[in-house]
Structure 1
Amino acid sequence: MTSSVSILGKPCIGSVNKNSRNMHQDFTITARVIVAPKIPSMPELSIQGIPHTDLHVREIVQRQLQTRRTNPSVSRKSEFLEEAYDRCRDICAEYAKTFYLGTRLMTEERQKAIWAIYVWCRRTDELVDGPNAIHMSAEVLDRWEERLHDLFNGRPFDMLDAALTDTVQKFPLDIKPFRDMIEGMRMDIKKSRYENFQELYLYCYYVAGTVGLMSVPVMGISPESSSNAPSIYNSALNLGIGNQLTNILRDVGEDALRGRVYLPQDELAQYGLCDEDVYSRRVTDNWREFMKGQIQRARFYFNQAEEGASELDKDSRWPVWSSLLLYRSILDAIEENDYDNMTKRAYVGRTKKLLMLPLSYTRSVSTSSAFH
């Protein structure tokens, strides 16, 4: 930590010695030392979360690589399933417009599968954050997990479940990332504070990193890729972590109104901040310095995600790059708001989103030359 010191000389404080032959003027200069309010220099914030060995990520990857499903090109056509996938498509198009447009380059079977996964994740999230969240309880999540097991075993409860059941039968999806996401919802109803980044990372893994683990088997790995599968899965997981950290930084003010602070308590303390500073919704210099470190860490995870995005099957890269660039732009918007995420919501306007699509497409096709 360093302090800012200001030396202020007061002009012409003292007396003039009129008896001097050369009319030499003697001045006594006094100075005040003002110690400005402490604004900490940016400490080295931890970027290390929970070891992936503790999350059993490698075991998930191995099971998804070994599992054999029905050939996705052999589609079981039925009006019911077609309608189920159409509803998943419409939900994705309505609530994730940029991502949805990116999926349009994927093969038909991959599109449907990604839409089905998106809808299940959205429904899971809405159990806690949706309009019926007031009725949320541990029992509701237990029943939702029972439904998950049923749909993985070919017993869907409703039409939207049926789309995911069909997807599970076509692609090598492991149930653990889905169960882990439900565990994240359990954490959300029990916990509203995170003592350190390791605790926050675990939450981010549960609610967002898992989406990357679900998606890779559907999106596929490029035949030209020289990277091993675990490293590509890790990159997908890192994209989810980066996205969730960005969501948290964007929604600080809104979450505070709900009595929630998704920020590492020990890092807040390093900057002389606490929950009351968040609830007051005042943007101070200390807050700005704190936010700089949080944004830097989110960008670290996006940088890590880039490596894997370039290794996916070429038809699947566009939605991934769209998501990556969109969420990076949210971080830019926080900075443009002078780090005021207390009273302002950082967002990317529709025009900018549309302009982002050709940029993300260019990134997705240009990466094919990066294989080594």
Structure 2
Amino acid sequence: MSVAVVWVVSPASEVGSGFLDSVRDGNNRVLAWDRSLVCNDRVKLGGKRRWNSSSLNADLKYSCSRGSGLENGGRFSILASAVATTPAGEMKMTTSEQKVYDVVLKQAAMVDRKFRSSEKPEVKTDMILPRDLGVLSEAYDRCGEVCAEYAKTFYLGTMLMTPERRRAIWAIYVWCRRTDELVDGPNASHITPKALDRWEARLDDIFGGRPFDMLDAAVSYTVSKFPVDIQPFRDMIEGMRMDLWKSRYKNFDELYLYCYYVAGTVGLMSVPVMGIAPDSKATTESVYNAALALGIANQLTNILRDVGEDARRGRVYLPQDELAQAGLSDEDIFAGRVTDKWRNFMKKQILRARKFFDEAERGVTELSSASRWPVWASLLLYRKILDEIESNDYNNFTRRAYVSKPKKLLMLPVAYAKSMVPASLN
């Protein structure tokens, strides 16, 4: 399984499992996943992370004069679920929306402070680096090799970036993949909550400048150079914890939070590295919101595509209350029958995912010109999966919706044309 995250540019077929076995240190020893994380007790898993190469591409020069977005009312224009309305007609956020929104505000403010103070952030003076900076360079090279092997299209997209930003994105990508492998890789059955606690402690060491291995060192150096906050990393680990015990979601508010944990977080991690077009008038917060929306859209698309696959694992990533309102239940999903009730239910779910894609589109145009093409390509190609579900008559039980290579090739010039549209000036 893999995670769908923002700015995706690689199809799921490019992502493999057990990638750590191919990553070696300078002495050609396998940098195996830290076995101290493994506990003896076993946990049955079947998580829904979709790591399709992620939110991480494009050479961006960040504008250092961005506002936090508060003065322009940059709140979410796409809300997670049916929005509660006060007697006065004001919109109210759900609990999950407010929690995620608070994280977005913090990330946007952090980026603003960093880039207002310095265009070239300095490395932390207390950072513990390898004795030979050549080792650090090799660590970044290893991260690039992982991307090239398991996310081919994404890797090509990073070639548009400056070397510094390219390496930073590779490092973030590899950390996310390593995290995903903990609960969705070949050793997943051995992982317990305590193991994830240890992984989070190791994350604290990364941000504290105390990397455990060379791949951690690449991440540690990256977060010292860019205004990357630890919270989205912690939240991704929280999403991994959720998959250890949760296989049902009573409403969309719960599902929204899960989608943020396993997909939206990567956008928040990578926006500080990516940046915004210098001529854009968009607020920092609005760009974060767009990255978050694309992550949610991608994850919802994966959920709708893989209903049958997840059902065979005993998991249902659909809002239970909405299923009931449509006259459906888990039993109908396990039976795999495409009925009129199911078609009507799916139409509403697809409509919701498309609204998140619409929200994401408004943010792509604010990226620098070097980044727009790969991001537009990823957005359009992933959105096309929803069309394929419809073409399959909403049979996502026994038929897997995918975009054929000819259709992908046809979408690339369309994405390029859209990437030529300049950043918004209003």
Task: State the alpha-carbon separation in 1 of the partners of residues 152 and 390 from structure 2.
Answer: 24
Q: Does the C-alpha gap of structure 1 residues 361 and 225 become closer, same or farther in structure 2, counting only changes over 3 Å? A: same
Alignment correspondent of 1:59: 106
Alignment correspondent of 1:271: 326
8 A contact 1:147–1:157 mirrored in 2:
yes
Please show how residues 278-297 of structure 1 align to structure 2 within 5 Å.
278-297=333-352
8 A contact 1:105–1:318 mirrored in 2:
no
Task: State the alpha-carbon separation in 2 of the partners of residues 358 and 160 from structure 1.
Answer: 36
Alignment correspondent of 1:163: 218
Task: State the alpha-carbon separation in 1 of the partners of residues 347 and 283 from structure 2.
Answer: 33
Instruction: Give 4+ residue runs of structure 1 displaced > 4 Å after superposition.
Output: 47-52
8 A contact 1:216–1:233 mirrored in 2:
yes
Gaps of 5+ in 1: 1-44
Q: Relative CO higher for 1 or 2, CA cutoff 8 Å, sep ≥ 6?
A: 2
Correspondent of 2:395 among 332, 340, 349? 340
Q: Does the C-alpha gap of structure 1 residues 194 and 52 become closer, same or farther in structure 2, counting only changes over 3 Å? A: closer
Task: State the alpha-carbon separation in 1 of the partners of residues 381 and 156 from structure 2.
Answer: 13
Alignment correspondent of 1:324: 379
Letter in 1 for 2:213: D
Residue range with higher mean Cα deviation, 90-99 or 168-177:
90-99
Alignment correspondent of 2:152: 97
Encode CA deviations 1:12-60: one digit per residue, 9 max, x unaligned: xxxxxxxxxxxxxxxxxxxxxxxxxxxxxxxxx9365656442322122
1:46 aligns with 2:46: no
Please show how residues 165-244 of structure 1 align to structure 2 within 5 Å.
165-244=220-299
Deviation at 1:369, TM superposition (A): 5.8
Q: Does the C-alpha gap of structure 1 residues 69 and 259 become closer, same or farther in structure 2, counting only changes over 3 Å? A: farther
Letter in 1 for 2:422: S
Highest Rg: 1 or 2?
1
Task: State the alpha-carbon separation in 2 of the partners of residues 72 and 112 from structure 1.
Answer: 16
Letter in 2 for 1:125: D
Gaps of 5+ in 2: 1-79, 84-93, 124-128
1:254 aligns with 2:347: no
Task: State the alpha-carbon separation in 2 of the partners of residues 220 and 200 from structure 1.
Answer: 29
Task: State the alpha-carbon separation in 2 of the partners of residues 97 and 270 from structure 1.
Answer: 42
Deviation at 1:134, TM superposition (A): 0.5
TM-score normalised to structure 2 length: 0.72
**Aligned with 2:106: secondary structure?**
helix
8 A contact 1:232–1:308 mirrored in 2:
yes
TM-score normalised to structure 1 length: 0.82
Pairs aligned (count): 326
Q: Does the C-alpha gap of structure 1 residues 154 and 355 become closer, same or farther in structure 2, counting only changes over 3 Å? A: farther
Deviation at 1:107, TM superposition (A): 1.6
Q: Quick one: percent identity of the two aligned structures?
A: 66
**Aligned with 1:217: secondary structure?**
helix
1:368 aligns with 2:415: no
8 A contact 1:221–1:312 mirrored in 2:
yes
Residue range with higher mean Cα deviation, 58-67 or 140-149:
58-67
Task: State the alpha-carbon separation in 2 of the partners of residues 183 and 70 from structure 1.
Answer: 32
Task: State the alpha-carbon separation in 2 of the partners of residues 157 and 315 from structure 1.
Answer: 34
Q: Does the C-alpha gap of structure 1 residues 247 and 155 become closer, same or farther in structure 2, counting only changes over 3 Å? A: same
Q: Does the C-alpha gap of structure 1 residues 341 and 69 become closer, same or farther in structure 2, counting only changes over 3 Å? A: farther
